């Protein structure tokens, strides 16, 4: 089912440069969609390390369970991703499909089965036939090339209306390294670790334990700071691969996430992850408004995050934004229901730079005309100050429209 491109699509989505030690190819396997690419194979040079964060859903997909088991090895040679079928809630058939796919990929690439990572996205509960992978993976391994990121980002889409890509270049101890990332996600987005799917590659030489600490830490303020509909996917997976090829140009091997030489890299990786995460929120199913929720003055950062998510996930707040209604009373409601420390008479609320409530009541200078004009803009900032501490947090979401219902009412059709 094709969907109109989101009006919130960024004006420019960057082309991604090759990353030393990474090649990729895509194929049309007919898993669900006809006439479009739906399988991605990434091939990594020997010595590539890997880290991942995976959904905390108690009903994880078979690929998530596979990755969770294999991440402890810390090494990767291949990634296989398919769209159209999540291979979730598929019992032994799902596990068998994963095992078959990994075996075929390992044979095609020439690596150990434990060095193959898998991800699937799409319909839950439908068995995934591994036969298409057996048909296409051998050819993809031979066709894989370094400059395939554009096709890769498109092949992993489901209800996404545009591909999500981000990149950065940064020095590690005087040697330039590259970071490239792709992601997908538009619905079932309330990550409890990551987004629906995200894959980041770099040629930096970073040991797997350090890579994992970096990814886990940066996920908190990127992929774990977005929500579209409050629903956490069974398939959420973010994997970070480091080929280490920059070592051939003089980059040092880093085995400690706190190494000072990683300062610029850490900042650049966080930027790439943040850009990808915000693109997911911008592409929320049926979205017409991109919403930033900022909470300050809370008892703690954790408390601020929970309150921000309560606001961002509120259907009443989201529909008010869709209707361009500055209904700050719904923001008050969301703060109050969050279950976090709050004092009504210290609360202040802004829409953009316009303060609409202060000291527990409507701002004396409140102007319906001024705030209504602001609500017509495509990007809305809702800011709350609780006035009881130093905790602060920022999350991103979108509005809730009839379009969301239209997309999800016939998702399996």
Q: What is the 3-state secondary structure (H, E, C) of 23-83?
A: EEEEECCCCCCCCCCCEEEEEECCCCEEEEEECCCCCCCHHHHHHHHHHHHCECCEEEEEE
Calpha distance 120→122 (Å, rounded)? 7
- Token couple for 344: 């009504």
- Token couple for 162: 């545009």
- Token couple for 373: 């004009």
* Confidence (pLDDT) at 12: 94
Calpha distance 372→364 (Å, rounded)? 17
Give the CA distances from residue 59 to residues 315, 322, 346, in Å, rounded to whole numbers and listed in that order: 25, 32, 41
The CATH 3.10.20.340 portion of the chain extends over 290-409
Under a CB-based contact definition with an 8 Å cutoff, are residues 186 and 83 in contact?
Answer: no
Considering the entire predicted model, what is its pTM?
A: 0.95
Within 8 A by CB and 6+ apart from 340, the residues are 298, 299, 303, 306, 307
* Confidence (pLDDT) at 411: 64
Q: In this structure, are strands 290-298 and 237-242 parallel, antiparallel, or unpaired?
A: unpaired
Q: In this structure, are strands 391-398 and 290-298 parallel, antiparallel, or unpaired?
A: antiparallel
Under a CB-based contact definition with an 8 Å cutoff, are residues 196 and 88 in contact?
Answer: no
1 pLDDT higher than 70: no
413 pLDDT higher than 60: no
If pLDDT is split at 50, 70 and 90, which confidence band does 35 have?
A: confident
Q: Supply the DSSP symbol for 161.
A: S
Binding residues for substrate: 158, 184, 195, 285, 408, 413
Listed range (189-193, 212-216, 229-233, 321-325) with the worst mean pLDDT: 189-193
Under a CB-based contact definition with an 8 Å cutoff, are residues 357 and 348 in contact?
Answer: yes
Kindly name the residue from 48, 55, 195, 243 that is annotated as catalytic.
195
178 pLDDT higher than 70: yes
319 catalytic residue (yes or no): no
If pLDDT is split at 50, 70 and 90, which confidence band does 231 have?
A: confident
Within 8 A by CB and 6+ apart from 329, the residues are none
- Token couple for 99: 């095992």
Q: Which residues of 126-163 are buried (b: 16+ CB within 10 A; e: fewer)?
A: bebebebbbebbbebbeebeeebbebbbbbbbbbbbbb
| pLDDT tens-digit series, residues 305-340 | 999 999 999 999 999 999 999 999 999 999 999 999
150 pLDDT higher than 70: yes
The CATH 3.60.70.12 portion of the chain extends over 22-282
Q: In this structure, are strands 175-184 and 116-123 parallel, antiparallel, or unpaired?
A: unpaired
CA angle 282, 394, 288 (to 5 degrees): 25
Under a CB-based contact definition with an 8 Å cutoff, are residues 192 and 306 in contact?
Answer: no
Calpha distance 364→355 (Å, rounded)? 10
Calpha distance 128→82 (Å, rounded)? 10
- Token couple for 65: 């369970």
Give the CA distances from residue 143 to residues 40, 101, 140, 157, 167, in Å, rounded to whole numbers and listed in that order: 12, 18, 5, 21, 23
How is domain 22-282 classified at the CATH fold level? Answer: 3.60.70
Calpha distance 184→188 (Å, rounded)? 11
State in words which class domain 290-409 has: alpha beta
Binding residues: 158, 184, 195, 285, 408, 413
């Amino acid at each position: 089912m094709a969907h109109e491109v989101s009006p919130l699509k960024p004006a420019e989505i960057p082309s991604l440069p090759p990353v030393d030690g990474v090649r990729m190819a895509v194929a049309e396997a007919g898993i669900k969609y006809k006439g479009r690419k739906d399988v991605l194979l990434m091939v990594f040079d020997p010595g590539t390390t890997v880290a991942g964060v995976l959904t905390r859903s108690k009903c994880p997909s078979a690929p998530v369970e596979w990755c969770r088991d294999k991440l402890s090895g810390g090494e990767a040679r291949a990634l296989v991703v398919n769209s159209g079928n999540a291979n979730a809630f598929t019992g032994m058939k799902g596990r068998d499909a994963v095992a078959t796919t990994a075996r075929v990929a390992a044979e095609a690439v020439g690596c150990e089965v434990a060095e193959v990572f898998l991800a699937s996205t799409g319909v839950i509960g439908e068995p995934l036939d591994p036969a298409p992978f057996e048909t296409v993976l051998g050819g993809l391994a031979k066709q894989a090339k370094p400059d395939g990121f554009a096709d890769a980002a498109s092949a992993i889409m489901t209800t996404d209306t545009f591909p999500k890509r981000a990149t950065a270049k940064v020095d590690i101890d005087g040697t330039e390294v590259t970071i490239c990332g792709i992601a997908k996600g538009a619905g079932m987005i309330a990550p409890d670790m990551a987004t629906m799917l995200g894959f980041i590659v770099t040629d930096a030489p970073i040991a797997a334990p350090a890579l994992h600490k970096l990814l886990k830490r940066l996920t908190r303020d990127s992929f774990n700071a977005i929500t579209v509909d409050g629903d956490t996917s069974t398939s959420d997976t973010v994997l970070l691969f480091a080929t280490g090829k920059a070592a051939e140009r003089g980059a040092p091997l880093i085995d400690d996430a706190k190494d000072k030489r990683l300062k610029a890299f850490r900042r650049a990786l966080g930027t790439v992850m943040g850009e990808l995460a915000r693109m997911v929120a911008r592409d929320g199913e049926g979205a017409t408004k991109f919403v930033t929720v900022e909470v300050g003055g809370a008892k703690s950062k954790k408390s601020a995050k929970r309150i921000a998510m309560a606001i961002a996930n509120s259907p009443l707040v989201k529909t008010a934004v869709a209707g361009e209604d500055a209904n700050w009373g719904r923001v008050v409601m969301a703060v109050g229901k969050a279950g976090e420390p709050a004092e009504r008479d210290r609360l202040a609320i802004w829409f953009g730079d316009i303060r609409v409530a202060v000291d527990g009541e409507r701002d004396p200078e409140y102007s319906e005309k001024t705030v209504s004009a602001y609500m017509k803009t495509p990007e809305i900032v809702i800011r709350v100050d609780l006035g009881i501490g130093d905790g602060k947090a920022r999350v991103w979401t979108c509005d809730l429209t009839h379009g969301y219902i239209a997309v999800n009412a016939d998702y399996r059709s």
